[in-house]
Structure 1
Amino acid sequence: MMMTGGRLALFRVGLALEGVGWHPAAWPESSMTVPAELFGSRHWTDWGRAAAAGGIDFVTLEDGLSAQTEQFAGVPGDPRKVVRGRLDPVVTAAMVLSSTDIGEVVVSRNVTHSNPFHIATQLASLAAIAPGRVTFRPQVSANAGDAAVVGGTPTPRLGSEDVQVPARIAHRLRDLFRDAESQVRAIRSLWSTFPHESLGSGDEFWQHGLIAPRVPDHHPAAGPLNVPVAVAPLVATLAHHALEPYRLAAAVADRVFLTPTAEHPVPKLVAAFRQIEQLTPDAAKTELYADIAVVLGDTDESARARLAHLNQVTGAVWSTDTGIFTGTAAGLAEVLAGWRDQDGIAGVRLRPAVLGEDGERIIRDLVPLMHDEPAR
């Protein structure tokens, strides 16, 4: 990986914004006490500004059609202490992009129960507000409840035992991943139907012949789009270690977030993904990122104690779809440097267990260590 003036270059650190944190106990452990604050602009724009000022390269926003449940979280405790609901990520992204200097916002959007024309228009609108700062993350819905609340096509109902085996999920949801590929291809194609250069000047608003429908192939949406596209958003996917999500990423994504665990470490995931990428027709080289949850402390012992306390609050061990780093910012920086130097990872998305605690430590303690690391 290149170094510039003795400083780390081309390794990007992202902060995954989700409510007040990713641990089920984040709400009772958060300094926030008024739930309505999560549904206003200040919480999101404040974190966007803090991330930008602290050297975070990008933030990510989640999507979800149904209210969060404990179905897969292993949370037997009081459901009134768990965050319910979220703002639409496109609206939230518009606030963050227009009110902060953050370099990039990765916007998740459910493609299982959404129309590709609407998604293409929404993301193109964001790109018009902030050219070059918008990335689209297509989200495949594995929650049968999502279909129920929107009246969409029913999807397989998964149990808690299913989410422990990503390959089982991928096999059961194979058709959904194939549909997602079709949707994303249609969205990217729609972005080409109203090129920015088709806009005219003076008394000519647009140049005849440059705005045109696409030829429907993977999806019947023809367009043309109703928003001019100057810089088309990149596409990033979250891929758990299984064939179908890796196939989707290789087929349509510019960037993939891999989910390392003790059983599936980064070198194993990189090798597996590159192999699938080689076997995927028309696949371009995909940039690899890691995606991990973090619980940080001043010492390894204090971080482990924090995680134990969070688990005690919920009455269950925190189980996620990726690995959980528990330790110091310095220890995390060492892990990330190893992934970068040895495995070719281009960046990382960090999921703070409690945003007010772990998010602040990421910005205050981790980012300076990454930026100030001397060349090797």
Structure 2
Amino acid sequence: MTGHLPVAVALEGYGWHPEAWRHTPNRESVLRGPYWSGLAATAERGLLDFVTFDDGLTPQRRRRPEIDPRWLAGRPDAVLVASRVAPTTAHIGLVPVAGVTHAEPAQVSRSIALLDVISHGRAGWQPRISSTAHEAALFGRRAVASPDELFAAASEFVDAIRGRAVVAALAHNRRVYEFAATSADLVFITPADDDDVRAILNEITEVGGRGLAVYADVFVYTTSPADPRSDAYVFSGSPQELVDLLLRWNSLGINGFRLRPSVNDVDLAWIVDEVVPLLQSAGRFRDAYAEAETLRSRVGVGR
């Protein structure tokens, strides 16, 4: 394949390693806007396609009610973070997570529509389903619906507010591939190797997702310890080795990539300053953003 290879970055806390805070010496609070604006500015300096902002109903990414003292506790609302970042950036796409199981469609619709307006068409969003009893209890609900009921409700939710913003989904299994095929424009997948890439792409095609933009998630760490619990492929190597991996998976049919920095302060800059120039030298990455480009046109999905 030739042409621009889409590369995005996923932002979460101080990074995707659970103890990224230990490897961030000059920690600015993740609850303050300037922290996120600074990360987005670095990603935009690297001409990346978009950034995603993770979120959930629990204070830690573990999605459990118990607090683990080794993990960062406290998470800002991802949609509000994206809205805070939007006026400080000019080109990069902004894709926050928004919960759908216990939210009202009108509320999410207004928030995403506002983000799209203030970003001049650079908005997307990732619906998140809440499937645990302790998440339901936060809203005074005791019963937890079955997976099929949860996904059916999520599909209705997305259909009710479908507008200009790109809809993304994170998928690990066939049921979520089905949801993505009917309700999303873009799907993040987590293959473990080349054979897994082929198998997942075939499965997405089987469930009717031929028109989806398929992005592979890759956990990237350069100096901090790896996280063996990561659901995404864990990469540790040279910039050229990462480029080789991306190009190989692209040749197998992956449309783009979302890189998860282990430690934002270290690995995001490594991606921007070491990996992007190699992609540019190979003729596979842009040298400048197109003016007034919407996220929808950038990722190549129809209205």
Asked whether the two chains share a fold, i.e. TM above 0.5, the reply is yes
1:128: which partner in 2? 117
Q: 2:26 aligns with which of 23, 26, 32?
A: 32
Matched, 1:239 2:171: yes
Matches within 5 A, 1:48-127: 48-68=40-60, 79-127=68-116
Going from structure 1 to structure 2, the CA distance change for 1:284 and 1:124 (only over 3 Å counts) comes to: farther
Q: 2:262 aligns with which of 353, 359, 362?
A: 353
- Residues 36 and 85 of structure 2 are in contact (CA less than 8 Å); yes or no, is this contact kept in structure 1? yes
Deviations 1:211-269 (A, max 9, x none): xxxxxxxxxxxxxxxxxxxxx101111111x2210110000111111111149621111
**Offset of residue 91 of structure 1:** 1.1
Deviations 1:297-351 (A, max 9, x none): 5xxxxxxxx42xx6xxxxxx6312222122222111101001112x222211111
**Offset of residue 58 of structure 1:** 0.7
2:291: which partner in 1? none
**Offset of residue 102 of structure 1:** 4.0
Matches within 5 A, 1:269-280: 269-277=200-208
CA distance in 1, matches of 2:10, 2:150: 24
Deviations 1:9-67 (A, max 9, x none): 2x211111101011112111212345xx2111111001111110122111001121121
CA distance in 1, matches of 2:234, 2:119: 33
Matched, 1:293 2:219: yes
Gaps of 5+ in 1: 4-8, 157-171, 192-231, 278-282, 298-305, 311-316
Going from structure 1 to structure 2, the CA distance change for 1:69 and 1:250 (only over 3 Å counts) comes to: closer
Length, aligned pairs only: 283
CA distance in 1, matches of 2:277, 2:118: 30
2:292: which partner in 1? none
**Offset of residue 373 of structure 1:** 0.9
CA distance in 1, matches of 2:281, 2:38: 25
Matched, 1:253 2:227: no
1:174: which partner in 2? 148
- What letter corresponds to residue 80 of structure 2 in structure 1? V
1:13: which partner in 2? 7
CA distance in 2, matches of 1:292, 1:48: 19
2:160: which partner in 1? 186
CA distance in 2, matches of 1:58, 1:153: 37
Gaps of 5+ in 2: 285-303
Q: Give me the CA root mean square deviation.
A: 2.3
SS in 1 for 2:236: strand
Going from structure 1 to structure 2, the CA distance change for 1:347 and 1:70 (only over 3 Å counts) comes to: closer
CA distance in 2, matches of 1:271, 1:338: 17
| TM-score normalised by L of structure 2 | 0.86
2:250: which partner in 1? 340
**Offset of residue 69 of structure 1:** 6.2
- What letter corresponds to residue 248 of structure 2 in structure 1? G
Based on CA coordinates, which of the two structures has the bigger radius of gyration?
A: 1
1:314: which partner in 2? none
- What letter corresponds to residue 260 of structure 2 in structure 1? R
- Residues 49 and 102 of structure 1 are in contact (CA less than 8 Å); yes or no, is this contact kept in structure 2? no
- Runs of 4 or more, structure 1, over 4 Å off, are 69-72
CA distance in 1, matches of 2:274, 2:131: 35
- Residues 28 and 81 of structure 1 are in contact (CA less than 8 Å); yes or no, is this contact kept in structure 2? no
2:136: which partner in 1? 147
**Offset of residue 71 of structure 1:** 6.7
Matched, 1:318 2:249: no
1:267: which partner in 2? 198
- Residues 106 and 137 of structure 1 are in contact (CA less than 8 Å); yes or no, is this contact kept in structure 2? yes
CA distance in 2, matches of 1:253, 1:293: 23
Identity %: 32
- Residues 194 and 249 of structure 2 are in contact (CA less than 8 Å); yes or no, is this contact kept in structure 1? no
- Residues 169 and 184 of structure 2 are in contact (CA less than 8 Å); yes or no, is this contact kept in structure 1? yes
Q: 2:275 aligns with which of 356, 359, 366?
A: 366
CA distance in 2, matches of 1:16, 1:374: 24
- What letter corresponds to residue 25 of structure 1 in structure 2? E
- Residues 36 and 81 of structure 2 are in contact (CA less than 8 Å); yes or no, is this contact kept in structure 1? yes
CA distance in 2, matches of 1:57, 1:370: 14
CA distance in 1, matches of 2:214, 2:62: 30
CA distance in 2, matches of 1:39, 1:349: 23
CA distance in 1, matches of 2:143, 2:240: 46
CA distance in 1, matches of 2:279, 2:36: 24
Going from structure 1 to structure 2, the CA distance change for 1:71 and 1:31 (only over 3 Å counts) comes to: same
CA distance in 1, matches of 2:143, 2:249: 39
